[in-house]
Structure 1
Amino acid sequence: MPEAPVPATAETLPADQRAASPRRVALVLLLGLLALLGAGALRVSSRLGAQEELRQVAAAVAVPSVRVIHPRAVEPRPLLLPGRLQAWAEAPVYARTNGFVARRLADIGDRVTAGQILAEIDTPDLDQQLAAAEAAFATARAQRDLSARTAQRWNELSARQVVSQQATDERRGDLAARTAQLSQAEAEVNRLRALTGFKQVIAPFDGTVTSRAIDVGGLIVSGSTSSPPLFTVTDMRRLRLYVRVPQAYTGAMRDGLKATFSVPEYADRSFTAELTRTAGAVDAQSGSMLVQFTTDNASGALKPGGYAQVRLELPPEPTDTQQLRIPASALIFRASGTSVAVVDGDGRVAVKPVRIARDLGAELDIASGLEPTDRVIDSPSDAIRSGDEVRPTQNARS
């Protein structure tokens, strides 16, 4: 049976192998030590990098980021507003006497002239009242004449001392009363005669009949403005165009300002009007001022009461320098006045006072204090001061 192999030992190894074993151990230990040192150095380097990154982030946070915009030049731009057309003159025609419509001589759309008869009213009650008043007037005149002759006789008798002075004074008083009664009767006759003149309904001026509320045989009751007028006569040769202008634009409303407008029924046509009057006050509820334009309507194309879309070309406010427009959010309010913050090329802030030419709500027109090349900070902090360092970013609105 073969013998088992003997395990190798230091004594059994050859001499060259016994010398190499300590060197291998030392090499392994050296490699391990180097690995530990490398891992430690890597760890220290990573920590130093994190600290440097943290320092850079802290430095970036210390310099605030701001949005900047560039002011825009103010150019004339149209202002579109709704308007309402009204006739130059419009008169509702009511009856001044009771009766029935005997004749109707005009209808809607008819062109009429001043004094033209529009309708005739039959007034049987008024005719009877006038006849009775004329009879009463005749009676009062006869009584006055009799009283005058009687008073004259008593004056002659009193002069010869045939009758008493008291009796004479009574006759004189009766004459004065009869004279007053005659005047009253005459006034009543004149009143009724004036009412008979309203049997004819006439046009107050040249124009067009735009409404009619009567027909032949209809009952007419005078003195009531709650009922519709018999006719409405409108002068539409010229029209008034009323527009409510927001308060921000009232400063540009001056006599002679031209406007163009369109109406729905003529979408492809444009009409012109000229500013003639302004209310001179802002309505507290709407925050706007009523202005009146005048337009010629000789062709009759425009209709009173219609809606119009008005276009106003408003020039900038006259100033020595060019006006610039910025958002209202860029404005800074301080005790020293209104100002804005601008950023130079080095990222330093300069707070500049400005003068506002026009407040448009979301935007402002600046009359002075800004240059077209300035970079204005949008929505600046209340604590911002001149000399502060900032990091500007471009605003999409600039």
Structure 2
Amino acid sequence: MLRHALFVSLIVLLAACGNGEPVEQSIRPAMVVQPQPATEMMDAYAGEVRARLEPELAFRIGGKVARRLVEVGDQVRKDQPLAELDPQDVRLQLEAMRAQVAAAEANLQLVRAERDRYKTLLARQLVSRSQYDNAENLYRSGEARLKQVRAEFDVASNQAGYAVLRASQDGVIARRMVEVGQVVAAGQTVFILAADGEREVSISLPEQAFERFKVGQPVAVELWSQPDRRFPGRIREISPAADSQSRTFAARVAFSAGKVPAELGQSARVFIAHNGEVPLSVPLSALTAEQGQPYVWVVDPRDSTLKRTPVRVGAYAESSVPVLEGLQASDWVIAAGVQVLREGQRVRPVDRANRTVKLAAKE
């Protein structure tokens, strides 16, 4: 009886499994990466993210710094006051020029009245022509003097405004060069402003390999905060002279991509290729082989299914392997667990932080 009962139970179980309904399979997450330029074929240079424009802000007149209104790292807007000089001297100079303007105006009124009186007397032939000409010259001199002192008053008024240092444009205060109470000369740098807008990476190029670098040369930039991503860039400028102490040439690298999440002061590495084409590379964990033929799993961006893709590889590195043929830079490759995957399997692409990755379909 027990054997009969087990037989019946087995038949019922098989009937339930064979009812024609497909068994739904769960979509497993799979870590994906994109091929990167092989670092073994590139030189890496440490750098720092800087602003494209870094104007040096200075007072246009000399004086004693009375107030400092911002600190390093503060966000400022155009025309925002940053620092002030002791205004006493410029105010006194302005008052002196205002008094000279008043004196010149009074003198002009006097010589004008004198000229008009001599003009009337000349018409009655009570004074000579030379006496009238002298009065006319005094009037013209007084008029010129008034124009001169008014111009000097405008200069003094401008200098009174120059006692307040204002931001030339929106940005962030990158450096501060003076302290309150310090006496500064006209044109002496007070702040360095990192203007809002485009960001670049500042690097130093070695003297012994200087001939390999040129303006416009393509590079790859890796931010310290995002070590798994490479951003395309180019060398925008190279200093024509080496630094006297380090004997390196300062260079600026501009990002080629539209918007890059680079913040001021971040550390970065700039990868510059050796002469010749640089192959792509993938992590060692992404590579597997069957019957001596290496291959990787490439994710189809349209439906997130897997495709076995044979590749030709170069010499293995410590953590990556260069791919000479078989991959494109836009491909998405499974980076781990490749031994348990199968052709056509559907996956959920994620990054190293287990965040879902949206794959862009190829054109």
TM-score range relative to shorter protein:
0.5 to 0.7
In structure 2, the residue corresponding to 1:89 is in which secondary structure?
coil
Q: Report the counterpart of residue 310 of structure 1 in structure 2.
A: 271
Check conservation: 2:221, 2:268, Cα contact below 8 A. Answer: no
Cross-structure match for 1:275: 234
What is the match of residue 220 of structure 2? Answer: 260
- 2: CA distance between counterparts of 1:208 and 1:278? 23
Structure 2: distance between partners of 1:247 and 1:166: 79
* 1:5-16 correspondence runs (5 A): none
Q: What is the alpha-carbon distance in structure 2 between the residues aligned to residue 76 and residue 298 of structure 1?
A: 21
- Would the aligned equivalents of 1:103 and 1:121 in 2 still touch at CA under 8 Å? yes
Tell me the residue number matched to 2:175. 211
Deviations, residues 189-239 of structure 1 (Å, cap 9, x unaligned) = 1111101112322111111112224444x14433253xxx32221126423
In the other structure, the counterpart of 1:48 is none
Aligned pair in 2 of structure 1 residues 274, 99: CA closer, same or farther (>3 Å)?
A: same
- On the 8 A contact 2:108/2:139 being kept in 1, the answer is yes
Asked if the contact 2:219/2:235 (under 8 Å) is kept, the reply is: no
Paired letter, 1:303:
G
Corresponding position: 1:158 with 2:122: yes
Shift of residue 135 of structure 1? 0.6
Equivalent position to 1:82, from 45, 53, 56: 45
Contact 1:260 1:270 in 2 (8 A): no
5 Å-filtered alignment, 1:85-96, equals 85=48, 86-96=50-60
TM-score scaled by length of structure 1: 0.48
- Tell me which residue corresponds to 2:291: none
Q: Distance in 2 between matches of 1:98 and 1:129?
A: 14
Q: Distance in 1 between matches of 2:276 and 2:259?
A: 27
Corresponding residue SS for 1:268: coil
Identity of aligned residues (%): 22
Q: 1:10-159 counterparts in 2 under 5 A?
A: 78-80=41-43, 82=45, 84-85=47-48, 86-159=50-123
| Aligned mates of 2:72, 2:239 — CA distance in 1 | 37
Does the 8 Å CA contact 1:110/1:208 hold for their aligned counterparts? Answer: yes
Distance of 2:227 and 2:185 partners within structure 1? 46
Letter in 1 for 2:98: E
Deviation at 1:186, TM superposition (A): 0.7
**Distance (Å, rounded) in 2 between the aligned partners of 1:112 and 1:189:** 31
Q: Report the secondary structure of 2:151's partner residue.
A: helix
Residue type at the aligned position of 2:198: R
Q: Which amino acid aligns with 2:93?
A: Q
Cα distance, 1:112 vs structure 2: 1.0
- Verify the 8 A CA contact 1:112 1:207 in the aligned structure 2: yes
The verdict on how the C-alpha distance between 1:110 and 1:290 changes in structure 2, with shifts beyond 3 A counting, is closer
Count of paired positions: 233
For residues 282 and 189 of structure 1, the distance between their equivalents in structure 2, rounded to whole angstroms, comes to 45
Question: Highest Rg: 1 or 2?
Answer: 1
Q: Compute the RMSD of aligned alpha carbons.
A: 4.0
Structure 2 CA distance, aligned partners of 1:178 and 1:270?
A: 74
CA contact (8 A) 1:113 1:206 kept: yes
| Deviation string, structure 1 residues 317-363 (Cα, Å, up to 9, x no partner) | xxxxxxxxxxxxxxxxxxxxxxxxxxxxxxxxxxxxxxxxxxxxxxx
Where does structure 1 differ by over 6 angstroms across 4 or more consecutive aligned residues? 279-283, 288-291
Change (3 A) 1:93 1:277: closer
Cα 1:124/1:282, change in 2 over 3 Å: closer
How far 1:81 moved relative to its partner?
A: 5.3
Residues of 2 paired with 1:79 and 1:132: CA distance?
A: 67
Give the Cα separation in 2 of the matches to 1:303 and 1:236: 14
Question: Structure 2: how far apart are the matches of 1:141 and 1:232?
Answer: 44
* Residue 135 of structure 2 is aligned to residue 181 of structure 1: no
Q: Secondary structure at the match of 2:148?
A: helix
Query: What's the CA shift for 1:144?
Result: 1.1
Instruction: Give the alignment's TM-score, normalised by structure 2.
Output: 0.53
Any idea what SS the aligned residue of 1:231 has? strand
1:293 aligns with 2:253: yes
Preserved contact between residue 63 and residue 184 of structure 2 (Cα < 8 Å): yes
Contact 2:42 2:274 in 1 (8 A): yes
- CA drift of 1:97 comes to 3.5
- Does the residue aligned with 1:230 lie in a helix, a strand or coil? strand
State the Cα deviation string for residues 16-59 of structure 1 (Å, max 9, x = none).
Answer: xxxxxxxxxxxxxxxxxxxxxxxxxxxxxxxxxxxxxxxxxxxx
